[in-house]
Amino acid sequence: EVSAVGTGSILARGSLAHVGRYAPGKPIEEVQRELGLARVIKLASNENAYGCSPKAVAAVAEEMTRAALYPESFSSALAQKLSARLGVREDQLLFGNGSDEIIGLLTRAFLEVGDEVVMADPTFTRYEQNVAIEGGVSVKVPCRDGVHDLDAMLGAITAKTKLVFVCNPNNPTGTTVGKDALRQFIDQVPDGVMVVVDEAYYEYVTSDDYLQTLPLLDAHPNLVVLRTFSKIYGLAGLRIGYAALHPDVASVLHKVRGPFNTSRLAQVAALASLDDPDFVAMCREQNAKERDRVAQALLEMGLRVYPSQTNFLLFEVPGSGAAVADRLLRQGIIVRAGEGLGVPGTVRVSLGTPKDNDAFLRAMKHSIE
């Protein structure tokens, strides 16, 4: 028998009832077999429907000849290229096994038992889980129409607050906060509180009212910006994301992370991806087009759709999201029920290729009462 005694045991003892029927890592082939369907389309984890750049595929194949060697610990070649691209210094970048790992590094480094973390409700569920692992307290501030209520979040900061998460665009709602509102928020958060702006979907944003956060880094040592190669770059399976942050904060996180937290394959794939702007532009354009088209089709079904700046849509359904997700699953479309994401009565669908989206919309017509 195993008995956990670390702070992580707080989560181990907690309820996992929020986990939906569909487990994100479950192989599609297995779902296909269980359902007896020839084709199952997964629109559940906001992955890139167009795959990744062929340049990344070639780089990975080549790098396999060096698989026997440990990777370079600081992803230096990638840091060099990306720093020039983003206009930050190399020591302001830290890479992780997905941005998920960096969220965990932040909570591990900055939280003691009983410390508070302010976040929106709903937002990316990993924040709350990582806070729980450290024995911290998540202070969840309700969104307004799916958008972070930054004034209320500012008001929720106490002497115990160590971190604030702003997910922009927000998962699961897909919404963004206004440029001026976020700039003022970052200015007003006390210096001793880290502001983590999670921009996992940054490259999909087409709105003009979106704050560029990287230029604020020098004046705000407590600002951390998270980005990832999992979404528009299509490298979710290789696990690589990054933080842009103050070098002193970076050195703390470097001490906390494992020595080889990003693999050789992930590093070279990310590097090669940066050399394929055409692929990124294609994904961005296709996504924006499909986002408008699918949102419009859902609206025409009489459903309320949250305005999205991402590669997914959250929409309200009659009855429970889980029931609709179940009906879609039986027709071979995997989506996420809002109940597991903190938004009951909704469904979150990732945008796929036009063909996948058509299949989803056809199935939707049979899934709402």
Smallest distance, ligand PMP to C-beta of residue 235, A: 8
Helix (H, G, I), strand (E, B) or coil at 205: coil
**Near ligand PMP by CB under 6 A, which window of 98-106, 175-183, 270-278, 317-325?**
98-106
Residue 171 engages ligand PMP in binding (rule: CB under 6 A): yes
Is the Cβ of residue 323 or residue 337 nearer to ligand PMP in the bound state?
337
Give the ranges where the chain is alpha helix by DSSP (H): 9-13, 28-35, 54-63, 76-86, 99-110, 125-133, 150-155, 179-188, 247-256, 264-273, 277-300, 321-330, 354-365
Chain centroid to Cα 362, Å, comes to 28
Helix (H, G, I), strand (E, B) or coil at 69: coil
Is the Cβ of residue 174 or residue 367 nearer to ligand PMP in the bound state?
174
Give the residue, chosen from 43, 63, 75, 98, that forms a contact with ligand PMP under the rule CB under 6 A.
Answer: 98
Burial letters 158-181, b for 16+ CB under 10 A, else e: eeebbbbbbbbbbbbbbbbbbeeb
Residue 128 engages ligand PMP in binding (rule: CB under 6 A): no
Is the Cβ of residue 222 or residue 230 nearer to ligand PMP in the bound state?
230
Residue 273 engages ligand PMP in binding (rule: CB under 6 A): no
Chain centroid to Cα 163, Å, comes to 18
For 327, other C-beta atoms within 10 Å of its C-beta total 17
**Near ligand PMP by CB under 6 A, which window of 64-72, 93-101, 272-280, 361-369?**
93-101
Helix (H, G, I), strand (E, B) or coil at 298: helix
**Contact (CB, 8 A) for 94 and 118:** no
Residue 138 engages ligand PMP in binding (rule: CB under 6 A): no
**Near ligand PMP by CB under 6 A, which window of 4-12, 113-121, 228-236, 327-335?**
228-236
Subset of residues 34 to 63 that bind ligand PMP, contact rule: CB under 6 A: 46
Give the residue, chosen from 241, 338, 340, 352, that forms a contact with ligand PMP under the rule CB under 6 A.
Answer: 241
Q: Which residues pair with 333 in a beta bridge?
A: 41
With DSSP H G I counted as helix, E B as strand and the rest as coil, what are the percentages for the chain, rounded to 5?
A: 40, 15, 45
Tell me the residue nearest to ligand PMP as measured from the CB.
98
**Near ligand PMP by CB under 6 A, which window of 1-9, 62-70, 72-80, 95-103?**
95-103
**Do you find a cis peptide bond into 24, omega within 30 degrees of 0?**
no
Smallest distance, ligand PMP to C-beta of residue 227, A: 8
Q: How many residues of this chain interact with ligand PMP, rule: CB under 6 A? A: 13
**Contact (CB, 8 A) for 243 and 94:** yes
Residue 263 engages ligand PMP in binding (rule: CB under 6 A): no
For 284, other C-beta atoms within 10 Å of its C-beta total 16
Identify the CA nearest to 322 among candidates 341, 299, 294.
341
Subset of residues 193 to 222 that bind ligand PMP, contact rule: CB under 6 A: 198, 200
Binding mask 59-88 for ligand PMP (x = CB under 6 A): ------------------------------
Is the Cβ of residue 222 or residue 350 nearer to ligand PMP in the bound state?
350
Is the Cβ of residue 257 or residue 367 nearer to ligand PMP in the bound state?
257
Smallest distance, ligand PMP to C-beta of residue 251, A: 22
Pairing of strands 241-245, 223-228: antiparallel
- Return residues touching ligand PMP (CB under 6 A): 46, 98-100, 124, 167, 171, 198, 200, 228, 230, 236, 241
